[in-house]
Amino acid sequence: MSSAKILRRAALLWGLGLLLGACGFSPLYEAHDQLTDPVLASVAVDQINDHLGVVLTNHLRDGFNPGGDGAPVYQLHVDLTEESIGIAYRTDGTIAQTQVNLTATWTLRRLSDRKLVGNGTSLGTTFYDDMPDAYANTTAKQSGEMRAVDTLADDIHARIALLLKDASPAS
């Protein structure tokens, strides 16, 4: 490839970068930490009870404020419910596959005046095969539940990031 062609491609990429920067483009999933996103770091997450709730609480806290520093401006409250449904059966009538639905209903309030900033419902669904061996069955279930919790945490984080994208603590 000739050096002129390489220069043209570099200039084109540079020009595209300028255009994207000029229109206010910023990737939703860019790396966020407290230094780059103080609004998200100001979200305090209420503790959610039961095992899956504790895992979801930790994922959310790590997503919003991994350093754990700073004064909270917003309070996130999440109610988590779990439903397991047998969806496939063997010829002997035992369950062959289970669907697990985790539903997180969340509210975000500003601490200064308790005003509702936003709310929503997120759903994490996963499937696992029921095994005749109790250990394999427990492991498959726990693995599926963790996948559903990861999905919930990512969805809640993304939705609140969009909600607070242009918010400032004083607004």
Mean pLDDT of the chain: 84
φ, ψ at 11 (rounded to 5°): -65, -40
The full set of domain ranges for the chain reads 34-163
**Pairing between β-strand 74-89 and β-strand 43-45 as defined by DSSP bridges:** parallel
User: pLDDT at residue 22 above 60?
Assistant: no
Torsion of CA 72, 105, 117, 62, to 10 degrees: 30
Residues written for the chain: 171
List, for residues 49-72, the tens digit of each pLDDT value: 899 999 999 999 998 888 777 789
The CATH superfamily holding the domain 34-163 is Lipoprotein like domain (3.30.160.150)
End-to-end CA, the chain: 54
